[in-house]
Chains A and B, each alone.
Chain A
Amino acid sequence: MKATQRPGRKAALPEGGPLQKAGSAEQADERALVEAAQTDPAKFGALYEMHFERVYAFIASRVRDRATAEDVTSDVFHKALANLTRFEWRGVSFAAWLLRIAANAVVDQAKRVAREFPSPEDPAELVADPGLRPSELRAIENHARLFRLVGQLPEAQRQVVHQRFVDQRSIREIAGRLGKTEGAIKQLQLRALERLRAQMESGHA
């Protein structure tokens, strides 16, 4: 567990984190998980746990609303499960394979909407190549890590974050539901953000 802040940390990260070339010990583990799931699809759950935040973060950053993000995410994992036996380990990580499915699913979804409801203002990017730049991959990895860190917050902070940002509830309503004062909820919100920020900074995942 490292708590030091190294300014050069970003530059030291391999481009795209675990999304590029296979080789590390972590990826050897992942490879074992993939092969296990290829033999026994019931073991797909472990891969889902490992990659859910990454896939969701990617899709949420590219679609307009939460309902669409959920539809497309669901679609991607169903497709991945259906095509799992076709995945071959040729230097491309499983995460990169999932994100390629996700990128295609996002474009398909946008095309479906554009076909159904053609608009003079449809941006050209709907049909553009979804290729991921290293900076985008880093952003996705960071978002996914933040989402996982929320799950590790102290319970009261975690509840406030979910009710505020996911359920979009007002401070007053959250206070009523949790039986605390509005000031206490604002404090919990602040503590949660500070803790998440500190953990993101320290690289402690």
Chain B
Amino acid sequence: MPKRPLSEQVDEAVQAMLVSLRPRPERDPSPSLAVLVPIAQVLRDLPRESFRIALKSDLQRRTSMNEAVAPSPERSLHYMRPGFTSITPYILVAGGTRFVEFLKAAFNGVERLRVPAPDGTIMHAEVAVGNGMIELGDANDQYPATPVTLHHYVDDADATYTRALQAGATSIYPPTDDHPSGDRWGAIQDQFGNRWYIATPKGWTPGPKGLRSIQPYLHLRDAHKMIPFLESAFSAEALGVHKSPEGHVLHATIRIGNATLEIDEAHGEFQPMPCYLHIYVPDTDALYAQALRAGATSVEAPTNKPYGDRAAGVKDPFGNSWFIATYLGK
């Protein structure tokens, strides 16, 4: 195989690094690649210029006008709500309270927020799992339950698998080492219809800044058509696409911002489960328009929400709904 240009090799390393994945090992690595990777790693923490400028003017205003300690309202904020990544699954579930208990018992979930409805059900809740987040609400007649498939990366797949079963889940298959990914990999279904692939990644480290603990996994019919859609609608980037000789997507990892989701061609008992996904983007209005141009249909035009986000909703051609949001501050 001819050696790929250095710019391509570097870009693949950067792509993977943006979401803390390990890049594919280079077949014929250029020695120049290795010395550039540490530079790229540090650049992930590069400060935003607009923040640097806003903070300076904030401090200057304070010294010149002797203002109170409160930061000025014009302070520019990062587009993601603290604690969130670019992609968060939003699960509508029958029995929200019990589902939160399950997340705590099975996956050491930490309840971050609960907004109850007047009838005692959950209007909205947020549960942190590892370094990821799950949002949920109780299903009702208008919004029926939408179970999802999630990939959950953990330090010890066997221990987590066992805990999930103890918390009431049923086994789909126990963790094995013979999964094509090379990861130690098992699967369960919870009492709420959600499916979880529980995996211990090999070759990279899950952790506070590492691989995302929670990644949506979409089984799709004609999955290969989803990749160009996500690229044009949400400025996504395909990090690794493995196809069968017939052109079916066996597995693909798709990056949006600092997080990823995975897709493959629906097969056997793993059929499409259209779901809700919440994505944080720098400019909701622009991305909403972009998604519609790419073939999404509108669910809700962009509006400012009382909880401090500007948000919109679209549906993709595969039936999944996307909440597009930009954090505006409290």
Which of B78, B108, B131, B237 contacts A66 (CB under 8 A)? Answer: B78
A118 to B55, CA, bound (A): 31
Closest chain B residue to A74, Cβ basis:
B55
Would you call A170 an interface residue if the criterion is a C-beta within 8 Å of the partner chain's C-beta atoms?
yes
- CB pair B112 A117 closer than 8 Å: yes
Would you call A71 an interface residue if the criterion is a C-beta within 8 Å of the partner chain's C-beta atoms?
yes
Q: In the assembled complex, how far is the CB of residue A82 from the closest CB belonging to chain B, in whole angstroms?
A: 7
- CB pair A193 B46 closer than 8 Å: no
What 0/1 pattern do residues 80 to 104 of A give for CB contact below 8 A with B? 0110000000000000000000000
Known A66-B80, A67-B78, A74-B58: A147·B69 in contact at CB below 8 Å: no
Known A42-B60, A168-B86: A67·B10 in contact at CB below 8 Å: no
Would you call B71 an interface residue if the criterion is a C-beta within 8 Å of the partner chain's C-beta atoms?
yes
B residues in contact with A60, CB < 8 Å? 45, 47
- CB pair B110 A64 closer than 8 Å: no
A89 to B99, CA, bound (A): 57
Would you call B153 an interface residue if the criterion is a C-beta within 8 Å of the partner chain's C-beta atoms?
no
Would you call B82 an interface residue if the criterion is a C-beta within 8 Å of the partner chain's C-beta atoms?
yes
Known A41-B63, A45-B56, A117-B111: A168·B77 in contact at CB below 8 Å: no
A residues in contact with B18, CB < 8 Å? 164-165, 168
Known A82-B69, A119-B108, A147-B46: A65·B82 in contact at CB below 8 Å: yes
Would you call B118 an interface residue if the criterion is a C-beta within 8 Å of the partner chain's C-beta atoms?
no
Known A74-B55, A173-B235: A150·B10 in contact at CB below 8 Å: no
Q: In the assembled complex, how far is the CB of residue B328 from the closest CB belonging to chain A, in whole angstroms?
A: 12
- CB pair A189 B235 closer than 8 Å: no
Would you call A169 an interface residue if the criterion is a C-beta within 8 Å of the partner chain's C-beta atoms?
yes
What 0/1 pattern do residues 35 to 71 of A give for CB contact below 8 A with B? 0000001101100110011001100110011111111
- CB pair B39 A171 closer than 8 Å: no
| Chain B 127-162 residues near chain A, CB threshold 8 A | 128, 131
A residues in contact with B60, CB < 8 Å? 42, 44-45
Would you call B272 an interface residue if the criterion is a C-beta within 8 Å of the partner chain's C-beta atoms?
no
Number of interface residues of A (CB under 8 A): 58
Closest chain A residue to B110, Cβ basis:
A119
Closest chain B residue to A170, Cβ basis:
B237
- CB pair A77 B55 closer than 8 Å: yes
Which of A71, A161, A169, A186 contacts B43 (CB under 8 A)? Answer: A161
Known A71-B82, A119-B110, A170-B236: A146·B39 in contact at CB below 8 Å: yes
Known A60-B47, A168-B18: A48·B56 in contact at CB below 8 Å: yes
Segment of A3-11, A14-22, A130-138, A194-202 in the binding face: A194-202
- CB pair A64 B208 closer than 8 Å: yes
- CB pair A57 B45 closer than 8 Å: yes
- CB pair A78 B71 closer than 8 Å: yes
A71 to B76, CA, bound (A): 11
A residues in contact with B43, CB < 8 Å? 146, 150, 161, 165
B residues in contact with A183, CB < 8 Å? 7
B residues in contact with A197, CB < 8 Å? 35-36, 39
Closest chain A residue to B104, Cβ basis:
A120
Q: In the assembled complex, how far is the CB of residue A5 from the closest CB belonging to chain B, in whole angstroms?
A: 12
- CB pair B39 A196 closer than 8 Å: yes
Would you call B49 an interface residue if the criterion is a C-beta within 8 Å of the partner chain's C-beta atoms?
yes
B residues in contact with A165, CB < 8 Å? 18, 40, 43-44, 46
A173 to B84, CA, bound (A): 23
| Chain B 237-295 residues near chain A, CB threshold 8 A | 237, 255, 257-258, 282
B residues in contact with A42, CB < 8 Å? 60, 63-64
Since A48-B59, A172-B231 are in contact, a sample of 14 more A-B pairs with Cβ atoms closer than 8 Å, ordered by chain A residue number, is A42-B64, A45-B60, A53-B47, A60-B45, A64-B83, A82-B69, A118-B110, A119-B128, A142-B42, A143-B45, A168-B258, A173-B235, A187-B7, A196-B39
What are 20 A-B residue pairs whose CB atoms fall within 8 Å in the complex? A45-B56, A48-B55, A57-B45, A65-B84, A66-B48, A73-B55, A74-B55, A81-B59, A81-B62, A146-B43, A150-B43, A162-B46, A165-B40, A165-B46, A169-B235, A170-B231, A189-B7, A190-B6, A197-B36, A200-B39
In order of increasing CB-CB distance, the 6 nearest A-B pairs are A170-B237, A60-B45, A41-B63, A186-B7, A67-B82, A190-B7
